[in-house]
């Protein structure tokens, strides 16, 4: 319709209205895809997952775009990290969502750091930390960011972090967040090791 409007030289107001419809149609599509993911994110067959390898594969998807925006991406992977039991695709989806959120929050010259380490609160467990130097999250918002449809972004659907929360819980893990306006945000994921399936202690985000 927009192409027809341009060919027929319809008034600018009509073309602007069509553009608004196009934008909202794309937004509806994103919300629908998010709802489908939210409804279908049950893990498939769980396998032993090398978290470091999952991080490396996910970083490949975003590294060039992040760096082209003037953001420094740091990756610090602990050697000889124990494996976890889970769905590598869904765990990669969690990390990808956190990286995209961090990228949206960081201005030029900022940094995003991804770190893996053994979970000090649980033998055989793994911690995955995603920290950014972005705009941070207000105190009155931070308690709601995992709620479905709650978003701080003008064009957000409010489903990304809710999906992340559900995926991590279905892997018997926990996800925590610490943030202050102007001082960045830190997400911490704790996952039990493949040899131990009892739930780990809820994580404490580091300063």
Strand-pair partners of 176 = 188
More confident residue, 109 or 141: 141
Helix, strand, coil distribution of the chain in percent, nearest 5: 40, 20, 40
Both tokens of 131, joined, read: 């920290």
pLDDT tier at 207 (50, 70, 90 boundaries)? very low
**Chain segment 57-96, per-residue pLDDT in tens:** 989 888 888 888 899 999 999 998 999 998 888 898 899 9
pTM (predicted TM-score): 0.73
Q: Roughly what angle, to the nearest 10 degrees, separates helices 88-105 and 160-170?
A: 140
More confident residue, 45 or 59: 59
Residue 116 has pLDDT above 90, yes or no: yes
Quote the CA–CA distance of 91 and 83 in Å, as a whole number.
13
Burial grade of 200 (CB within 10 A; 0-12, 13-18, 19 or more): buried
**Third-level CATH fold of 45-191:** Heat Shock Protein 90 (3.30.565)
Residue 131 has pLDDT above 90, yes or no: yes
Average pLDDT over the chain, rounded to an integer: 82
């Amino acid at each position: 319709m927009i192409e027809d409007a341009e060919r027929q030289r319809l008034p600018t107001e009509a073309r602007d209205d069509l553009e608004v419809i196009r934008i909202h149609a794309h937004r509806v599509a994103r919300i629908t895809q998010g709802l489908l993911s939210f409804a279908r994110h049950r893990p498939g067959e769980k396998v032993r997952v090398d978290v470091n390898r999952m991080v490396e594969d996910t970083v490949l998807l975003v590294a060039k775009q992040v760096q082209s925006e003037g953001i420094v991406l740091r990756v610090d992977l602990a050697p000889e990290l124990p494996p976890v039991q889970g769905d590598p695709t869904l765990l990669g989806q969690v990390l990808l969502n956190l990286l995209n959120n961090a990228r949206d929050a960081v201005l030029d010259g900022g940094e995003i750091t991804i770190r893996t380490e053994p979970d000090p609160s649980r033998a055989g467990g793994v911690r995955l930390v995603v920290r950014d130097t972005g705009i941070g999250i207000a105190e009155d918002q931070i308690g709601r960011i995992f709620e479905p449809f709650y978003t701080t972004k003008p064009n957000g659907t409010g489903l990304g972090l809710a999906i992340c929360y559900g995926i991590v819980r279905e892997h018997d893990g926990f996800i925590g967040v610490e943030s202050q306006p102007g001082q960045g945000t830190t997400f911490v994921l704790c996952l039990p090791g493949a040899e131990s399936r009892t739930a780990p202690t809820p994580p404490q985000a580091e300063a």
